[in-house]
Amino acid sequence: METDNTSRRRLLKRGLTAAVTGIALAPQGRAQTPAVITQRKFRGWVSRGYGSARTSLQEMTLRPITGRQVVVRTEASSLCYSNTGAVLGLQPAPTNTNSGDGLPPAFRRLNEMALIQGHGGVGIVEAVGAEVRRVQVGDRVCVSGTPQCGSCYQCLRGRSDMCQFLGRQGPDDLVPAAELRDGTPVYMNSHIGGMAELMVTFEEWVVPVFSKANAVELGMVCSCVSVAGLGATTSQVVNLVDAGSTVAVVGCGPLGLSAIQGARIAGATRIIAIEPIKARRDVAMKVGATHVLDPNVEGDKLVDRVRALSYGPATGPNDRLWAGGRDSGGLLGGSGADFVIEAAGGDQAKPKAESGPDPTGILPLRQAYEMTAPGGHLVTTSLPRGMLTLPAVMFTIGGRTHHAGQAGGCSPLKDIPRFVSLLESGKYDAKSLATRVVPMADMRDAYEEVLYRTTVTAIMTA
């Protein structure tokens, strides 16, 4: 019989073996994966400093990994709109080195570090640290833009979309994953760094997907925007849209277009897409919208137009309240969409395609709130700029439920494999959203198309 002392010695021996050989041992004691890849060379887009020349394609050397780190060979990575400023150097350089022109000190420090940008991707695990249990070498994984540890305050309360590891991405939290030829340490932005041949992340960010789907389409469905769009309409955290409902989607970039598909999959019968860019309205109709509206054409009548469309097949409001009817106005706003997904946000630069009515994103955010029916639900997902003013009584007693969270409220470990199943079954159309696919060398040109909104989504392959 094994004694406590014998068991302790065996555990110590296993730990010593891992420390000396760099081999992570599986629970059964067999060697699972090499934890160190010595002097591995790889390429990636490294950002440092300010201005348009801050990001360049460089070769670097991988550093040894430890603990919960995971090395993933990148197959495909989505070029997220919210990352355009960091990649293309839209942030002006500070003119006063002491004040930084009001830039937060942490932001300035990040700009001075050598960072590989990118908000996620799909790839193959090539190595894991000795403490990793979630994945093994050879696994195909999604590197999620939102981590899920399963143990923090938020994860334990069913809000893994708000996992507290999300806040551990400042300059003091990042660890060097590689080094340039001159010895400069290189870090992975947000512990991800999808714009490189290798991603060095932590297991909290990694979701095994066990799929043989096309890398580009899988990279699309695993991107932070698609996850947020599908999460906003089908996730088990928010769990909103139901069959027969009316859904309005404000903003039809890749996030909004994914939300349209999620609403269709959930069984919504009226899906109203609101988008100034005609090409995106066309894609919206292709992937499931039943109505499309141009906010520039509708103007200040947009909310009324959505309310009118929400009545259903009748030509006007049905005020027969004893027979399940509802009216069109009143103090609390009358009819509207049962569920509204807001995905407009502010412009990083003036689009070369059709511009929306408000580059800050505040107007579409307010309109999204007002077009939500009393008793309805609003899911906000965007990054607007400025302060929001709402009708006070509508806000206080109007019965609208506001859902604000990362990734549309999705639980990465639970929902991302489900989203991949939607792709594999043909219910989620990734191909129509991935309108620009480029090799690593052409990343910058593709990112300019994303910035100016002349493409829906760009995917980089490595």
Determine, yes or no, domain membership for 349: yes
Count other C-beta atoms under 10 Å from residue 34's C-beta.
Answer: 17
How far apart CA 249 and CA 372 sit, in angstroms, is 11
pLDDT at site 317: 59
Structural domain range at position 326: 226-407
Asked if pLDDT for residue 281 goes beyond 80, the answer is: yes
Question: Residue by residue, what is the 3-state secondary structure of the chain?
Answer: CCCHHHHHHHHHHHHHHHHHHCEEECCCCCEEEECCCCCCEEEEEEECCCCCCCEEEEEEEECCCCCCEEEEEEEEEECCHHHHHHHHCCCCCCCCCCCHHHCCHHHHHHHHCEEECCCCEEEEEEEECCCCCCCCCCCEEEECCCCCCCCCHHHHCCCHHHCHHHHCCCCCCCCEEEECCCCCEEEEHHHCCCCECEEEEEHHHEEECCCCCCHHHHHHHCCHHHHHHHHHHHCCCCCCCCCCCEEEEECCCHHHHHHHHHHHHHCCCEEEEECCCHHHHHHHHHHCCCEEECHHHHHHHHHHHHHHHCCCCCCCCECCHHHCCECCCCCCCCCCEEEEEECCCCCCCCCCCCCCCCCCCHHHHHHHHHCEEEEEEEEECCCCCCCCCCCHHHHHHCCCEEEECHHHHCCHHHHHHHHHHHHHCCCCCCCCCCCEEEEHHHHHHHHHHHHCCCCCCEEEEC
Instruction: Indicate whether 219 belongs to any domain.
Output: no
Question: Is the domain of 188 the same as that of 233?
Answer: no
Instruction: Verify that 57 and 174 share a domain, yes or no.
Output: yes
Q: Say what the pLDDT of residue 37 is.
A: 60
Residue 236: predicted pLDDT: 54
Residue 325 gets the label, from left (phi > 0), alpha (psi -120 to 50) or beta, of beta
Q: Same domain for 234 and 204?
A: no
Q: Which pLDDT score is estimated for 238?
A: 53
Residue 22 has what pLDDT?
Answer: 40
Domain count, the chain: 2
Task: Please report whether residue 185 resides in a domain.
Answer: yes
For 14-69, the pLDDT digits (tens) are 443 343 334 343 333 334 444 456 679 999 999 999 988 899 999 999 999 989 99
**What would the pLDDT profile of 374-426 be if each residue is shown by its tens digit?**
989 999 999 999 999 999 989 999 899 999 878 888 899 999 999 999 999 99
Q: Give the list of residues 6+ apart from residue 204 with CB closer than 8 angstroms, or none.
A: 68, 147, 148, 149, 163, 165
As a whole number, mean pLDDT of residues 209-233 equals 93
Predicted confidence band at 92 (pLDDT cuts at 50, 70, 90)?
confident
**Tell me, what amino acid is at 2?**
E
195 & 158 share domain:
yes
pLDDT of residue 332: 74
Q: Minimal CA–CA distance to 415: which of 232, 277, 154, 202?
A: 232
Give the count of alpha carbons within 13 A of 253, CB side only. Answer: 33
Q: Percent of the chain beyond pLDDT 90?
A: 71
Note whether residue 198 is domain-resident: yes
- What pLDDT sits at residue 418? 94
**In this structure, is residue 243 part of a structural domain?**
yes
CATH number of the domain bearing residue 285? 3.40.50.720
Global pTM value: 0.88
250, 137: one domain: no
Across the chain, mean pLDDT equals 87
Residues 231 and 201 in one domain: no
Are 157 and 294 in a shared domain? no
* 285 within 8 A of 256, measured Cβ to Cβ: no
Residues 269 and 398 occupy one common structural domain: yes
216 lies in some domain: no
Per the listing, tokens 């100016």 go with 452
Q: pLDDT per residue over 137-173, tens digit each?
A: 999 999 999 999 999 999 999 999 999 999 888 888 9
Are 179 and 232 members of one domain? no
Q: Are residues 244 and 391 in the same domain?
A: yes
**197 belongs to a structural domain:** yes
Residue 25 lies in a domain: no
CATH number at residue 181: 3.90.180.10
Do residues 395 and 289 share a domain?
yes
Q: What local confidence, expressed as pLDDT, does residue 401 receive?
A: 92
Are 311 and 394 in the same domain? yes
